[in-house]
């Protein structure tokens, strides 16, 4: 295979390959000779959490998707430690990510998985691809003074926060020997871990797992990947409902990024957390389940009794009507709540009651649909 040398991004490639090489050679040699001190281990964990969450919570859910609002101390923390992950400024990161969602699995997707696993994981960073990164889709972020400041001084912030700060903390704690250990462990090795955690979202989360909400693109849900990526592994849900501050939407799903946002909200540092209504999530799951059932039924008309087919059709029609009514009531209630000065409290209360009734009817229709679907599945088995 011929390497397109003219398209290599030399600075980025040398940094990514250099830090990986140091992590696989110099860091183990240092640890073999000197061992790992508790201070170095503590600093690695602290910087791993700070930089990793700055990417998942900050670069991703806050800045790229506006899934919530954060006060300036949180935003400043994210911009400082997000830079320490060496994944570009938040403007460039968000521009690429918004383009990924808009063109997922197509030519203009920066990390298009259909071009190969290695391309999605790291190749798109090593080689110049078309189109290049433009900032035409992050106008809202360019108006943020803190974001603009980070973009202007990104490289200085990145080197100081990622390598300078761990080394200085090590020097203050235990002298030059400890400074070197902190530089290698909490600096270089930690950068590699955080970067490949992010890269795995672009590659493995479009390769491994289930598609419970939509099969329109390659994004997948994986509980295993969620363990490695601060909850970002529930990627199929995220691509279907990208503005939700949660990725692991089920109570039992591992999503420390979601929990961190919730904690920040409790102490008043985060507001306006956006959530997709439970009914809408259920409808997405049902739509995908129904599509899979339709695929099973293709060419198997004799496998289901006419009574069961009629039951499925009627359950689907009831569900569609209940969903339509719920959507109408939801829209009316939201509009009235937003214009509460113009509407009486009685009118808003009445709309809320109608919405609750529509939601109850929708849940009942969902249960009826599930019963019909389970009957059909049992007869196909």
Q: Which residues pair with 271 in a beta bridge?
A: 69
Predicted model pTM: 0.84
For 253, other C-beta atoms within 10 Å of its C-beta total 17
* Whole-number Å distance between alpha carbons of 34 and 13: 30
Q: Which residues pair with 8 in a beta bridge?
A: 127
Q: What does residue 251 show for φ and ψ, rounded to 5 degrees?
A: -55, -30
Which pLDDT tens digit goes with each residue over 49-86?
Answer: 999 999 999 999 999 999 999 999 999 999 999 999 99
**Residue in the structure block whose two tokens are 């088995």:** 381
CA angle at 185 for the pair 199 and 121, rounded to the nearest 5°: 10
Q: What pLDDT is stored for residue 323 in this prediction? A: 65
Whole-number percent of the chain with pLDDT over 70: 75
Q: What pLDDT is stored for residue 121 in this prediction? A: 96
Q: How deeply is 295 buried, as exposed, middle or buried, from its count of CB atoms within 10 A (0-12, 13-18, 19+)?
A: exposed
Task: Please give the structure tokens belonging to residue 199.
Answer: 């890269």
Cis before 131? omega within 30 = yes
* Whole-number Å distance between alpha carbons of 14 and 25: 16
Residues 186 and 166: beta-carbon distance below 8 Å: yes
- pLDDT band at residue 186, thresholds of 50, 70 and 90? very high
Ordered by start, the domain boundaries in the chain are: 5-271, 278-380
Q: What pLDDT is stored for residue 379 in this prediction? A: 59
* Whole-number Å distance between alpha carbons of 198 and 202: 7
- pLDDT band at residue 24, thresholds of 50, 70 and 90? very high
């Amino acid at each position: 295979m011929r390497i397109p040398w003219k398209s290599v991004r030399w600075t980025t490639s040398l940094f990514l390959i250099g830090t990986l090489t140091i992590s696989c050679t110099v860091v183990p040699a240092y640890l073999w000779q000197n061992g790992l001190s508790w201070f170095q281990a503590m600093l690695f964990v602290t910087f791993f959490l700070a930089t990793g969450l700055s990417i998942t919570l900050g670069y991703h859910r806050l800045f790229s998707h506006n899934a919530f609002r954060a006060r300036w101390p949180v935003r400043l923390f994210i911009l400082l430690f997000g830079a320490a992950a060496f994944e570009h400024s938040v403007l460039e990161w968000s521009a690429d990510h918004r383009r990924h969602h808009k063109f997922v699995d197509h030519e203009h997707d920066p990390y298009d998985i259909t071009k190969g696993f290695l391309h999605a994981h790291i190749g798109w960073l090593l080689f110049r691809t078309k189109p290049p990164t433009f900032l035409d889709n992050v106008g809202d972020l360019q108006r943020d003074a803190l974001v603009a400041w980070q973009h202007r001084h990104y490289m200085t912030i990145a080197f100081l926060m990622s390598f300078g700060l761990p080394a200085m903390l090590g020097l203050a704690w235990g002298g030059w020997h400890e400074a070197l250990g902190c530089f290698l462990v909490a600096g270089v090795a930690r950068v590699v871990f955080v970067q490949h955690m992010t890269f795995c979202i672009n590659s493995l989360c479009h390769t491994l797992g289930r598609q419970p909400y939509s099969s329109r693109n390659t994004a997948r849900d994986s509980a295993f990947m969620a363990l490695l990526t601060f909850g970002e592994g529930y990627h199929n849900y995220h691509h279907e409902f990208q503005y939700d501050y949660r990725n692991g939407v089920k109570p039992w799903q591992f999503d420390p990024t979601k929990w961190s946002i919730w904690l920040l909200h409790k102490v008043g540092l985060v507001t306006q957390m956006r959530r997709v209504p439970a009914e809408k999530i259920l409808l997405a799951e049902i739509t995908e389940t129904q599509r899979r059932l339709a695929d099973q039924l293709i060419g198997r008309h004799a496998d289901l009794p006419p009574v069961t087919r009629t039951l499925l059709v009627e359950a689907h029609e009831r569900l569609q009507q209940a969903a339509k009514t719920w959507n109408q009531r939801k829209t009316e209630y939201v509009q009235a709540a937003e214009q509460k000065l113009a509407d009486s409290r009685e009118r808003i209360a009445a709309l809320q009651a109608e919405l609750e009734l529509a939601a109850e009817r929708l849940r009942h229709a969902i249960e009826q649909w599930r019963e019909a679907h389970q009957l059909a599945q049992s007869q196909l088995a």
